[in-house]
Structure 1
Amino acid sequence: MLPLHWFLILAHSAYAQLDGLTVLTQQGPVSGTFSSPTVRQFLGVPFATAGRWQAPRLPAVRKEVFKATAFGDSCVQELNAGNSEFLILAGGLGLNTTESENCLTVNIWSPSVQRKQKTAVLLWIYGGSAVFGTSNIPIYVGNNFVRDNDDITIVTFNYRLNIFGQPNAPQLVSNTTSQNFGLLDLDAAVAWVHDNIANFGGDPDRISLFGQSAGAVSADQYTFAHPQDTKVKGIILQSGTATLLSTGNASLTLDPTPWNTVAQAVGCGTVNNAAQLQCMQAVPFRTLENAVISTNAVFNRVVDNINVFVDTNARAAAGNFLKVPVLTGTTANEIDIFLLAQELLTSGVSTPTISEMLSDVTTLLLFTCSTSLSALNRVANSVPTWRYQYQGVFPDISTRPELRAYHASEIPLVYGTYNTSTIPATPAEIALSKFMQGAWVAFARNPKQGLLSLGWPMYNPNTTSLAQLGNPANATGVTLTKGSLVDSACARPDVLANIEAQLTSLLVN
């Protein structure tokens, strides 16, 4: 039974109830706004609370209506020179948002109550190498997605990053509790959305995850950490998978070096005892943030066999993961933006010929071939799988000649937010965006069969089933090709790695 004060609050919000702008959650009512005449918007709604380096828990029940009219604080960022340059090249977006450790909030765009309710739900996970990123970026606004498509609700959220999201602290090592707090935040967001989205017009039985880069890796890691999950019904992986072409040096041995580097920089010493942890807990977040940047400490997610596994590739081959349908893909020239950012920071100029060759080889090694392996493992385990390669190059997104279909360049088309640029979108770009949005929505509505209605067949590497999006042969839709052709060089990763090393040497020298 609902508490009496909630009934009173709702009774005094009769008009808001009629237009669907006051919605009840398990923590109390929230009130939103219209972001456009047919789309309701709820911003900055707390889905969890957590102390520093603690697992998330549900927020307290509120006695008042929560005004969901502005984005919440972003989680603490690691905006070193390289990450900042990436953001500039990716559209000059910047991350000029308020940061704090009280950042675990969701944002919801849902159809007005006059439109179809009980919609499919897409839950977005932003990228940023798990060290920077926020839901408060113009290209992640879900209004256009919902405005232009029926039967869809878009949800975005914030999760903890860098030393706050995966501290690699020896004191926090446990066989039962993970210190991958950013991934625990994802778990909490999925649970909150599942438990509350019905009141916003979403269908809790049709939730799919979609993410890009580190966000895609997170979505894939969710399937390995929760092989029996019943909340998530599909995943869309944009330029990232948990499966790697090579397992590298992953092990269960935690490297305390970045933790101790930062601890020493802020005066907490390098002795991994309780006093050091207590000292680190007390350091102001801005001081920790600045120390991470100034020391160039790298905080990767912890391989703990709880939600990041040392044997992910073996688990993938054996089918030890959540077997929900997947739409997975990459951009054709992922590495362009990283190489350009590096060159601009080091010399101020680019070397296009060598950079393009190096980008092509590294894109194969880090993205194309890993996505191929991931897709093959799912196909082998009878998981409905669709695969794409994004090839679009448009002047409002690829704003420099060195940038082709680079990492993250497809996001404005997926969201339909290319209009955030001052350069007009081309007719082909607008049409391709409409097709891609429709495809993502079709998958969300029916992950097992939705894409078939668009003439997009399930993936088989030996049939024309890999969808090239933005290919010049059909710049506004799909051109089908064989995955085996796109992946032909993946059979010799050793050769690719050797070529990569030689090209890197040429570029540096």
Structure 2
Amino acid sequence: MTMLEVVVAAALCLGSVSAASLGPVLTEGGMVEGENHRVGLFRYMDVFKGIPFAAQPQRFEKPQPHPGWEGVLKATKFAKRCLQVTLTQTDTRGSEDCLYLNIWVPQGRKVSTGLPVMVYIFGGGFLVGGSMGANFLDNYLYSGEEIADRGNVIVVTLGYRVGTLGFLSSGDASGPGNYGLWDQHAGIAWVHRNIKAFGGDPDNITVFGESAGAASVNFQIISPKNKGLIRRGISQSGVALSPWAVNRNPRALAEEVAVKVGCPTDEKMMPCLKITDPVALTLAGSLSLHGSPSNPIVQNLLLAPVIDGDFLPDDPGNLFHNAADIDYIAGVNNMDGHIFCGLDVPSINQPLQPTPPSVAQELLVAFTKEKGPDAGAAAYREYSQSWGPDPSKATIKKTVAEIETDYIFLVPTQAALYLHANNSNTARTYSYVFSMPSRIPGFPSWMGADHAEDLQYVFGKPFTTPLAYFPRHRDVSGYMIAYWTNFARTGDPSKGESEVPAVWPTFTSTGHQYLEINNTINRDSIKQKLRTRFVHFWTYTYALMPTVKSSSAE
């Protein structure tokens, strides 16, 4: 044995002897005990899985406090995700007993105290998703370990009701809706009350999420119900202003579900739905995922939050004053809309098959139908302006992807950033666009970053499964974890315990600066005015056009 090997062996032995671990932790419900393992030299991780933060929810009711337990709860197994349809929407998975959370606490030679806390809200269109155990094959995407270890923060993931049980609303007091948002709020409030015992700082909680989880983050920071609970938020590809984030006519969908399960559609509807088999209810809330240019899928995502006069007392655009002291990062992937395009316009991913310009026109007519045909024509002029007389196949396809990206994600996100910055008191605002090219084989050469492709980097997958990635992927993952955890620690993504490759300036309503995130971040990655012409068209020109009355009763 060489001298070096002796030293390393001795260090490892010392490490295991002096392993810092919380051991059993006292929470408001009782004692919980997780598992501790080594993640590096003098670095350990306490992991708690399946801690209940509320009682099993009653159907279409707000969550209630958990009654507690005797003895020590072994928090070593993930709970089931909330009852939901499978991806094929022909079956269900999960359980109604699903309000649990998971906690990762990084430890050094001593037990950690006063750490920033990052609470993750998963996405899935408010219809599916979970942060309990394997998401895909045996891979657990939402493991907080890499973020916790690399950024020295506590990471929490939580369950919340989705689909019919989480977001069906009768549109009145008998079934106000937003149960999934109340679940998220209950989880955040539990973390605020209990995280000190795990070594966290209850006054430094950052909520972050992607897609429907990103819109949820925005709802949580603008709801008056979270006063004093949340210090910062990060929305990745979704905000409260996204066209799919609020259902403004929830009654129609509730009646559709009621008819499917044999309930009346009058005042007896909600009492009947409350005693209906939960699996039948969940299946009745499946949504059509067959899109076309004239009927884009995004317009079918109807199980969503509602303006209930309680959690959301007003239109989201009027609630940003509630986030005046909450720092906020929001951004998009540069091809976020591509996932929808593949379903609405299949030819977009078939290199030999052209996508006719009329498809772009049809799509824009569908997105602008409430303002009539003139609005669709104006939008088409805007998007085809740079085509020239003979646009290539790739140009048209890329434009279609940009149309869906702008309408569904980018423009609403820019609008939310404006509102946040304009309503700010002490809060700082940051904007980004993620442009790491897709790793999915077979996509066209013009393809950028598709929806959800940022998640693998934020959760450090290039480090946990190194053989599946190249060094450039580890670079972008390291950058994102550094920016995200610095922000959670200080409110400034460029300042904290982690080095970053460029200083990310704040977004202001005059400066419009943003960071382009990929594996080559440098000073040139700080840019201004993200797709301003199109943002101006949608938020100003289009918004000012008069709404037309629908000829058919909808």
The TM tier, using the shorter chain, reads 0.7 to 0.9
Match of 1:488 among 523, 533, 541: 533
Alignment of 1:175-324 (within 5 A): 178-226=176-224, 229-244=227-242, 254-268=249-263, 270-274=264-268, 276-293=269-286, 298-316=302-320, 319-324=321-326
Task: Give the Å deviation of 1:390.
Answer: 0.3
Structure 2 unaligned blocks of 5 or more:
1-16, 290-299, 356-392, 544-554
Aligned equivalent of 2:125: 129
Structure 1's 485 and 62: CA in aligned 2 closer, same or farther, altered over 3 A? closer
Q: In structure 1, how many angstroms separate the alpha carbons of the residues matched to 2:403 and 2:542?
A: 8
Structure 1's 169 and 97: CA in aligned 2 closer, same or farther, altered over 3 A? closer
Q: In structure 1, how many angstroms separate the alpha carbons of the residues matched to 2:20 and 2:473?
A: 38
Compare CA radii of gyration and give the structure with the larger one. Answer: 2
Task: Give the Å deviation of 1:77.
Answer: 1.7
- 8 Å CA contact retained: 2:20, 2:109: no
Q: Amino acid of the residue matched to residue 494 of structure 2?
A: L
Task: Give the Å deviation of 1:463.
Answer: 4.5
Give the TM-score of the pair, scaled to structure 1. Answer: 0.80
Structure 1's 322 and 129: CA in aligned 2 closer, same or farther, altered over 3 A? farther
Structure 1's 184 and 401: CA in aligned 2 closer, same or farther, altered over 3 A? same
Structure 1's 481 and 309: CA in aligned 2 closer, same or farther, altered over 3 A? farther
Is residue 451 of structure 1 aligned with residue 498 of structure 2?
A: no
Q: Amino acid of the residue matched to residue 165 of structure 2?
A: F
Q: In structure 1, how many angstroms separate the alpha carbons of the residues matched to 2:61 and 2:266?
A: 18
Q: Which moved more, 1:61-70 or 1:16-25?
A: 16-25
Task: Give the Å deviation of 1:256.
Answer: 2.1
Q: Secondary structure at the match of 1:110?
A: strand
- 8 Å CA contact retained: 1:336, 1:404: no
Match of 2:455 among 411, 420, 430: 411
Aligned equivalent of 2:76: 69
Structure 1's 247 and 126: CA in aligned 2 closer, same or farther, altered over 3 A? closer
Aligned equivalent of 2:67: 60
- 8 Å CA contact retained: 2:415, 2:539: no
Q: Amino acid of the residue matched to residue 392 of structure 1?
A: M
Structure 1's 196 and 412: CA in aligned 2 closer, same or farther, altered over 3 A? same
Structure 1's 241 and 462: CA in aligned 2 closer, same or farther, altered over 3 A? same
Q: In structure 2, how many angstroms separate the alpha carbons of the residues matched to 1:51 and 1:17?
A: 42
Aligned equivalent of 1:369: 411
User: Deviations for 1:334-360, whole angstroms, at most 9, x for unmatched residues?
Assistant: 011222245569999976734422111
Task: Give the Å deviation of 1:229.
Answer: 1.1
Give the TM-score of the pair, scaled to structure 2. Answer: 0.74
Task: Give the Å deviation of 1:147.
Answer: 2.0
Q: Secondary structure at the match of 1:235?
A: strand
Q: Which moved more, 1:376-385 or 1:415-424?
A: 415-424
Structure 1's 16 and 221: CA in aligned 2 closer, same or farther, altered over 3 A? farther
Q: Amino acid of the residue matched to residue 235 of structure 1?
A: G
Q: Secondary structure at the match of 1:387?
A: strand
Match of 2:434 among 390, 401, 407: 390
Q: Amino acid of the residue matched to residue 65 of structure 1?
A: V
Q: In structure 2, how many angstroms separate the alpha carbons of the residues matched to 1:407 and 1:422?
A: 22
User: Deviations for 1:416-454, whole angstroms, at most 9, x for unmatched residues?
Assistant: 02467796211111011101101100000011x352564
Structure 1's 415 and 248: CA in aligned 2 closer, same or farther, altered over 3 A? closer
Structure 1's 181 and 348: CA in aligned 2 closer, same or farther, altered over 3 A? farther
Q: In structure 2, how many angstroms separate the alpha carbons of the residues matched to 1:338 and 1:247?
A: 12
Aligned equivalent of 1:165: 166
- 8 Å CA contact retained: 2:341, 2:404: no
Q: In structure 2, how many angstroms separate the alpha carbons of the residues matched to 1:165 and 1:103?
A: 12
Task: Give the Å deviation of 1:45.
Answer: 0.7
Q: Which moved more, 1:346-355 or 1:422-431?
A: 346-355
Q: In structure 1, how many angstroms separate the alpha carbons of the residues matched to 2:195 and 2:167?
A: 28
- 8 Å CA contact retained: 1:107, 1:156: yes
Aligned equivalent of 1:40: 46
Match of 2:520 among 475, 496, 500: 475
Q: Secondary structure at the match of 2:285?
A: helix
Q: Amino acid of the residue matched to residue 401 of structure 1?
A: F
Task: Give the Å deviation of 1:61.
Answer: 1.8
Structure 1 unaligned blocks of 5 or more:
1-14, 85-95, 499-509
Q: Which moved more, 1:100-109 or 1:254-263?
A: 254-263
Q: In structure 2, how many angstroms separate the alpha carbons of the residues matched to 1:232 and 1:264?
A: 40
User: Deviations for 1:41-81, whole angstroms, at most 9, x for unmatched residues?
Assistant: 10111001211111111111211211111111101223454
Aligned residues: 455
Q: Amino acid of the residue matched to residue 118 of structure 1?
A: G
Q: CA RMSD in A?
A: 3.4
Alignment of 1:44-123 (within 5 A): 44-49=50-55, 50-81=57-88, 99-112=94-107, 114-115=109-110, 116-123=112-119
Q: Which moved more, 1:204-213 or 1:362-371?
A: 362-371
User: Deviations for 1:348-389, whole angstroms, at most 9, x for unmatched residues?
Assistant: 997673442211122122222222122122222343111111
Structure 1's 432 and 405: CA in aligned 2 closer, same or farther, altered over 3 A? same
Q: Secondary structure at the match of 1:42?
A: strand
- 8 Å CA contact retained: 2:84, 2:93: no
User: What percentage of residue pairs aligned between the two structures are identical?
Assistant: 25
Q: In structure 2, how many angstroms separate the alpha carbons of the residues matched to 1:25 and 1:341?
A: 46
Aligned equivalent of 1:30: 32
Structure 1's 462 and 106: CA in aligned 2 closer, same or farther, altered over 3 A? same
Task: Give the Å deviation of 1:475.
Answer: 2.0
